[in-house]
Amino acid sequence: MTTPPATVWRDILGQVRLNHPRLARGWFSELQLTAVEDGVIHIGTCNHAQSDYLQQHCRAAFTEAAQAATGRLVSVTFDVGPAREDQSRVASLGSGPDQLLLNPDYTFDNFVTGPCNRLAHAAALAVADEPGRAYNPFFIHGPVGLGKTHLLQAICHAIRENRSDITSHYISCETFINDFIEAVELGALHRFRYRYRHVDVLVIDDIQFLAERERSQEEFFHTFNTLHQSQRQIILSADCSPPEIPSLEERLISRFNSGLVALLDRPCLETRMAIIRKKAKLRCIEVPEEVVRLVAGRIDTNIRSLEGTLVKIDALSQTQSGTITLKVALEALGGDSGRAVKIPAILEAVSKRFEVKVSDLQGKKRSKAVTHPRHVSIFLARQLTSQSLEEIGGYFGGRDHSTVLHASRTIERQADEDPQFRAMLDEIASDVKNGAY
């Protein structure tokens, strides 16, 4: 075994970052080229999450760079560093091939907090610090792309790094259902139950897919009870709150609500800007502040859209000067330059349509003649603007996020039942978006 010179490693890392910028991560600097043995270059990682990510996404890029740097037909392998090997082995006990891989980027350090997610983030930290004691069960819900999976994986990372005495199982709801079906078919329910009821932390993503699966719900009900009664941590995520999951049994809804239920809402402008800066740093991309503000102002749907836009801008810059500029960002955004909708415009439009005063929409009056158009205004604000629940509530007399959610869902249900009412909402939205107010 021979130890390669440090210059070879610098060349390999430099070529990966230059030729494959989409794969580059800030934590690549933590990697070490440990040895060359029988034509294989060994790269040491800090944990299994890093080695899994590199093996799955980066092996071809590192192999190409290694062959260019050494001038030899070598291959690359990724190994957990000796200092972390024992800890990583303990952390992986009880894991199976169907466990979801942890993304090394999804840690607490890389999670950006704001008014939209502060409660969920604080609770996740507490759960990671004291599994089974802080909040059990812990249920996170919200629309897609707002960070639910990030928080779930951050908890897993923290537990596996700091609590080597604890075994965790991180899976999707689909995996739980498929494992149960297979166990029934093979007559191996005892093995299935032992596997899921003897872990210290059970983490299931997208639990809403348990709906309309009566036998799976029955099995999960007993699994939940077994874990909860033995003070073992249960962490769940869904795209809606427990009562809103269709066809979910009342006894499961009751148990999900017995712990902490935390909402992840759309991030406000300042939080979106912080997210872009964090994502850029993770990808080793330099983004001017004017581009950060531009992207945050244009993309208000979810975090995945922000990251996708950042990747697109970086890719376009590589085909030109190699530098991200405002001009490149505008070109990458293309036609996504629509007029931003403001809540005052919505208030004015609803005020005119329902013949009520704007001051009443924002006030405390509770008559039906006022509450209904107020709910319409809140619904449209949720649909047409990037404002968070708290920010929308601020426009309507300081109402809290639960009131805003209730108003929005009330109008959504009415629109689903009444096509004429839906058409009226679409007409108001069109007028506002076209600048009529």
List, for residues 168-205, the tens digit of each pLDDT value: 899 999 999 999 999 999 888 999 999 899 899 999 99
Its domain, for residue 174, covers: 108-263
* Residue 234 clears pLDDT 90, i.e. is over it: yes
Query: What is the structure's pLDDT at 84?
Result: 45
Burial status of residue 97 (CB atoms within 10 A of its CB: 0-12, 13-18, 19 or more): exposed
Residue corresponding to tokens 């109402």: 399
Domain for residue 101, yes or no? no
pLDDT above 90 as % of the chain: 25
Choice among 92-106, 126-140, 143-157, 160-174 with the minimum mean pLDDT: 92-106
- Of the pLDDT bands very low, low, confident and very high (cuts 50, 70, 90), residue 88 is very low
Same domain, 170 and 317: no
Distance CA 401, CA 399 (A): 7
Domain for residue 18, yes or no? yes
Query: What is the structure's pLDDT at 103?
Result: 83
Q: Which amino acid is at 262?
A: A
Query: What is the structure's pLDDT at 339?
Result: 56
- Of the pLDDT bands very low, low, confident and very high (cuts 50, 70, 90), residue 78 is confident
Distance CA 341, CA 435 (A): 8
The stretch 302-323 carries a mean pLDDT of 82
Domain boundary (312, 333, 354) is at 333
Distance CA 429, CA 406 (A): 20
pLDDT tens digits, one per residue of 2-47: 545 677 888 888 888 777 777 777 778 778 888 788 788 888 887 7
* Residue 81 clears pLDDT 80, i.e. is over it: no
Domain boundary (263, 296, 322) is at 263
**Domain CATH code at residue 170:** 3.40.50.300
Same domain, 300 and 355: no
Bridge partners (DSSP) of residue 201 are 168, 233
Distance CA 77, CA 75 (A): 7
> Across the chain, what does the average pLDDT equal?
84
Nearest alpha carbon to residue 272 among 238, 309, 239, 237: 309
The stretch 64-86 carries a mean pLDDT of 76
Helix (H) or strand (E) holding 347: helix 343-354
Q: What is the total count of domains within the chain?
A: 4
Domain boundary (212, 230, 263) is at 263
